[in-house]
Amino acid sequence: MLFTHKAGQRINWPPDGVPETMADTYIGAIDQGTTGTRFMVFDHGGQVVANAYEGHEQIYPEPGWVEHDPVEIWENTTEVVTRGLRDASIDADQLEALGITNQRETTIVWDAETGRPVHNALVWQDRRTTDRVEELEAADKVEWIREKTGLEADAYFSATKTEWILDNAEPLKLQSSRSQNLRDRAESGELLMGTIDTWLIYNLTGNHVTDVTNASRTMLYNIHDLAWDDDLLAEFDVPEAMLPEVRPSSDEETYGATDPDGFLGAEVPVAGALGDQQAALFGQTCFDEGDAKNTYGTGSFYLMNTGTEAVDSDHGLLTTVGFQMSGEPVQYALEGAIFITGAAIEWLEDVDLINNAAQTAELARSVDSTDGVYMVPAFTGLGAPHWDGRARGTIVGMTRGTRKPHIVRATLESIAYQTRDIAEAMEGDSGVETTSLRVDGGAVKNNFLCQLQADILQTEIARPEVDETTALGSAYAAGLAVGYWDTIDELRDNWQIDREFEPEMAAGEADRMYSRWDDAVERSLDWAREE
């Protein structure tokens, strides 16, 4: 058969090895992120055939508070799904399944009967519950929480956000005829709670479901028992009746299906869900113990698959659920969060050292080294493994001979050094040496950075052809669940390398450069201390 692509080129279809019955069917992926919602459609080869995006409003009621309108997010989801299918001339009944990936810790509480939120979503960035976290610290409950959840006690996660909504949303709630307070209603199951995946699944299918990766980011879920934790629910006064059912990330039983009389006009199973960073791990086909990926965005998230063992961290990393496929044990991961990587490049633009990100490679190459200059981009403190909220950005080692290219190169090196910080912490916790790191995100289009990363890590860097790994991961999870792909080996076959970068720098030189990085970091620590 000959298939005419939208761009007009004629290609053989189906490709070798693809059953004729799958030639005109696809998997859809809803990628609901912090700033917007994307819908993508993938074919059997893991290639993108449709793509639509819509941003949503960022709401800042007070300093440190960040909210989203859940209704706007749902309306945008229907819009991008509809537009993406229309623009690619794909009918909804050609979708074998839908997968969902999402900003992870962002929290919504809504009325089970009306489906109306009682308050705006509290976004993962929201810091209004910091005082509550300090209470936990004062009560020596940090280690207790870490042992159960693998997480640091932090406002970042969903537990304190849910507690705040139940305590504070009553005056702000949408009109209701009920006289009971929110906690009473939550206890009776009249209110439902969930992260964004749960909210979308509920609106798509009518079912109250989350997956195990998103549950693991709530600070209410015991990652060892794989169940909502009674002690944590009691600590945060969150009734279990309002919590979603926890299911595998790729679920053969599916989470439900879209209403054929709804906006899609078709009954499409919703069969896969993963938090965004776990979805990137899955999309990079990191299915085996020791496989690792790093996503370079505003910050970076480095995840290593640790297999069926939840590895406790002694080096400032998070222990989390990586993914779970139907009928199989949970695969765990270690996660290192770097606050500032791509944002350091944006800072170079802000101070007019560059006009655009593409310039960085050319400028960095124009000098042989930084001439001893180190830049520590601790603009919002330092994340893993340092966890110093009072650290601040620092440039050290400058002389009269320091020029713009030296600072630009030092900024790119800082991204590579921070990644090595995490890689060494990973090896220290897991005992697994990283021999290859799969990378994705906007910054990895920079060949100079990728080569630099290989040199500093002394590790092979592999950049895939399809860089939309977050959406791809959720599509893979959904497609596996419904038999669109039979095995993970098929997915491994789909994963194609765009380019590999091998270390070119001598190991001793990399170690020498990295040792001075530690000195520079030391000078950035505890800078923003209170006088």
pLDDT at residue number 170: 61
Q: What DSSP line would sit under 34-70, residue for residue?
A: SSEEEEEEE-TTS-EEEEEEEE---B-SSTT--EE-H
Supply 205's token pair.
């299918």
> Is the model's pLDDT at 364 over the cut of 80?
yes
Q: Do 178 and 325 belong to one domain? A: no
Closest C-alpha to 200, from 294, 300, 275? 275
Can you tell me the mean pLDDT for 498-525?
94
Question: Which of the listed residues 191, 223, 247 is the one where a domain comes to its end?
Answer: 247
CB atoms within 10 A of CB 230: 11
Helix (H) or strand (E) holding 32: strand 26-32
Q: Does any domain span residue 17?
A: no
Cα separation of 211 and 195, whole Å?
A: 10
Q: Does any domain span residue 357?
A: no
pLDDT digit string (tens) for 67-126? 999 999 999 999 999 999 999 999 999 999 999 999 999 999 999 989 999 999 998 878
CATH code of the domain covering residue 484? 3.30.420.40
Number of compact structural domains in the chain: 2
pLDDT digit string (tens) for 436-445? 899 988 788 8
pLDDT at residue number 307: 92
CB atoms within 10 A of CB 6: 10
> Is the model's pLDDT at 133 over the cut of 90?
no
Can you tell me the mean pLDDT for 483-507?
92
> Is the model's pLDDT at 435 over the cut of 80?
yes
* Residue 227 vs residues 111, 247, 259: alpha-carbon distances, Å: 24, 10, 30
Q: Do 92 and 148 belong to one domain? A: yes
Whether the link from the prior residue into 63 is cis, omega within 30° of 0, is: no
Closest C-alpha to 81, from 206, 273, 266, 208? 266
- Half-sphere exposure (CA, 13 Å, Cβ side) for 528? 12
Can you tell me the mean pLDDT for 248-270?
94
pLDDT at residue number 165: 93
pLDDT at residue number 180: 61
Q: Do 333 and 473 belong to one domain? A: yes
Residue keyed to tokens 């979805």: 279
Q: Does any domain span residue 448?
A: yes
Q: Do 317 and 242 belong to one domain? A: no
pTM, two decimals, is 0.84
Question: Which of the listed residues 247, 271, 290 is the one where a domain comes to its end?
Answer: 247
CB-based contacts of 472, cutoff 8 Å, min separation 6: 29, 40, 42, 46, 279, 283, 466
Residue count of the chain: 531
Q: Name which residue leads in pLDDT, 289 or 98.
A: 98
Task: Confirm if 240 and 228 have CB atoms less than 8 A apart.
Answer: yes
> Is the model's pLDDT at 457 over the cut of 90?
yes
Does the CA dihedral 212-217-223-227 come out positive or negative?
Answer: negative
For the chain, the first-to-last Cα distance in angstroms comes to 74
pLDDT digit string (tens) for 203-256? 999 999 999 999 999 999 999 999 999 999 999 999 999 999 999 999 999 999
Mean pLDDT of the chain, nearest integer: 89
Can you tell me the mean pLDDT for 367-386?
90
- pLDDT bucket at 530, cuts 50 / 70 / 90: low
pLDDT at residue number 22: 57
> Is the model's pLDDT at 64 over the cut of 90?
no
Q: Does any domain span residue 22?
A: no
Q: 3-state class of 121 per DSSP?
A: strand
**Structural domain for 494, as ranges:** 280-340+418-514
Task: Confirm if 348 and 354 have CB atoms less than 8 A apart.
Answer: yes
Q: Do 206 and 96 belong to one domain? A: yes
Can you tell me the mean pLDDT for 379-405?
88
> Is the model's pLDDT at 513 over the cut of 90?
yes
> Is the model's pLDDT at 11 over the cut of 50?
no
Cα separation of 312 and 151, whole Å?
A: 10
Q: Does any domain span residue 269?
A: no
